[in-house]
Amino acid sequence: MNAIRPIAETGDTVTLRRADFEALLEAVEDAEDIRALQAAEAREKETSKEAARTNYLPAELVIRLMAGEHPVRIWREHRGLSQKDLAGKARIARSYLAEIEGYKKPGSLDAYRKLANAFGLTVDDVLPEGESGPHAAAPIGRKLPE
């Protein structure tokens, strides 16, 4: 990366060329990726590679997730569970699970906690992209039922 030179500076702000700003963002993303890779490698050394990768999704499932398919459905299928099996394991109604997976109901925080525990994941892993709570909007391109 070339030396980044501010265009202007005050006591509170620094103005950069867009190219410099984007280069800084890219450098931060690269550093985060390297840190995540190092953490993953450390987990694989502590346990077996297979055990460390239990919570990894294959590329085809990541693509479905990025397309807006509900994470609960993705993880349920990845774990080889039926809706009935997952609902029983999470102790929620199968019909409620179906409504969550189909974006017909947002799901309560309690339901997401139970689902995450059933998968051995965190709540963040099972919330749809962009949701910061159980009543947030559906992912972009999806409409919540009225």
Task: For residues 6 and 9, give the distance between their C-alpha atoms in angstroms, rounded to a whole number.
Answer: 7
97 in the same domain as 35: no
What mean pLDDT do residues 82-88 have? 97
- Report CA dihedral (47, 48, 50, 53) to the nearest 10 degrees: 40
pLDDT at 130: 65
35 in the same domain as 73: no
Per the domain annotation, does 135 fall within a domain?
A: no
> Is the CB of residue 96 less than 8 Å from the CB of residue 86?
no
Q: Which domain holds residue 103?
A: 56-126
pLDDT in tens, 17-38: 999 999 999 999 999 999 988 9
pLDDT at 40: 81
Q: How many domains does the chain have?
A: 2
pLDDT band at 131, cuts 50/70/90? low
